[in-house]
Amino acid sequence: MTAADIPAAVGRRALGLLATLGHAACFFADLAASLPASLRRPYLTVVQVHAVGGRSLIIIGASGAAVGLVLALQGYLTLSRYGSAGSLGLLVALALVRELGPVLTALLFAGRAGTSLTAEIGLMKAGEQLVAMEMMAVDPRVRVLAPRFMAGIVSMPLLGSVFSAVGILAAYVVGVMLIGIDSGQFWSAMQDGVDVFKDVGNGVVKTLVFGVVTTFIALYVGYESQPTPEGVALATTRTVVISSLSVLFLDFILTALMFSAP
């Protein structure tokens, strides 16, 4: 490769990235447009809510509990150094509701549900089921993709809230029952500092955004995968990588928009 080829290679990459983004945007518009049509068969969505959300409930709950336990222990060690162990509830609740709940739920969701969506759709494509549907004049977007998209959007806020709630309860177990912080202080400091709309509401909005993003990435990557075993494997990996990175960077943008003003 000569020196003159390097700009050309960079340009080709950039154009390829732009083309992918544009294609994804068109796909998103198509998918959003086919959402109402898919609601004519609500049972398809219900089945997907179970597959995507209901089955993720255990891993989300267990992770929330683990995070709450660790947060309470570490938070207590630091707070007690400044003699303000009573604010433990506030620390744990704000950390979970604002950041950890939405972000960790989205990362787990991408790993648990996103990959299975990608693999399922990639295999459907490899087995030419999607093409077969089109041959029968059934739009695979309405029949296959839209119910899964809807299920992801519905499930994520619910899962995120479960994560935060279980985390707070776990922190209560460690902080109040094991360490011995006053129960009333634990809750009152929390209730004093956590705002329903600013903190809890924005946390739910975050999970909603992450739900749209992770589910969409999983579906798009699966739909555009190469119809080969390697292609599906690559697509599954790509889903995890792209969704995780998008969630982490989107979280920064959302936090800057929601919480930058004091």
Please tell me whether residue 57 binds another protein under the rule CB under 8 A.
yes
Q: Read off φ and ψ for residue 83, nearest 5 degrees.
A: 65, 30
Helices 115-126 and 146-172: crossing angle, nearest 10°? 160
Give the whole-angstrom CA distance, residue 66 versus residue 57.
14
Which two three-digit tokens encode residue 189?
Answer: 């400091």
Please tell me whether residue 168 binds another protein under the rule CB under 8 A.
yes
Provide, rounded to whole angstroms, the least separation between the CB of residue 40 and another protein.
17
Q: Please report, to the nearest 10 degrees, the dihedral formed by the alpha carbons of residues 204, 206, 207, 208 taken in order.
A: 90
Please tell me whether residue 46 binds another protein under the rule CB under 8 A.
yes
- Span interacting with another protein, options 15-23, 183-191, 221-229, 243-251, rule CB under 8 A: 183-191
- What character string, x for contact with another protein (CB under 8 A) and - otherwise, covers 69-98? ------------------------x---x-
- What character string, x for contact with another protein (CB under 8 A) and - otherwise, covers 147-166? -------xx-xxx-xx-xxx
The one among 71, 119, 153, 199 contacting another protein by CB under 8 A: 199
Say how many Å lie between the first and final Cα of the chain, rounded: 53
Residue 190 Cα distances to 103, 184, 185, 202, 256, angstroms: 21, 10, 8, 17, 23
Contact by Cβ (8 Å): 116, 106: no
CB atoms within 10 A of CB 172: 20
Q: Say how many residues touch another protein, by CB under 8 A.
A: 33
- Span interacting with another protein, options 112-120, 193-201, 231-239, 241-249, rule CB under 8 A: 193-201
Please tell me whether residue 262 binds another protein under the rule CB under 8 A.
yes
Between residues 92 and 242, which has the closer beta carbon with respect to another protein? 92
Residue 7 Cα distances to 4, 17, 53, angstroms: 6, 15, 46
- Span interacting with another protein, options 19-27, 118-126, 198-206, 243-251, rule CB under 8 A: 198-206
Contact by Cβ (8 Å): 251, 103: yes
Helices first, then strands: H and E counts in the chain: 12, 0
- Span interacting with another protein, options 43-51, 117-125, 141-149, 213-221, rule CB under 8 A: 43-51
Between residues 82 and 252, which has the closer beta carbon with respect to another protein? 82
List residues binding another protein (CB under 8 A).
43, 46-47, 49-50, 53-54, 57, 93, 97, 154-155, 157-159, 161-162, 164-166, 168, 187, 190-192, 194-196, 199-200, 203-204, 262
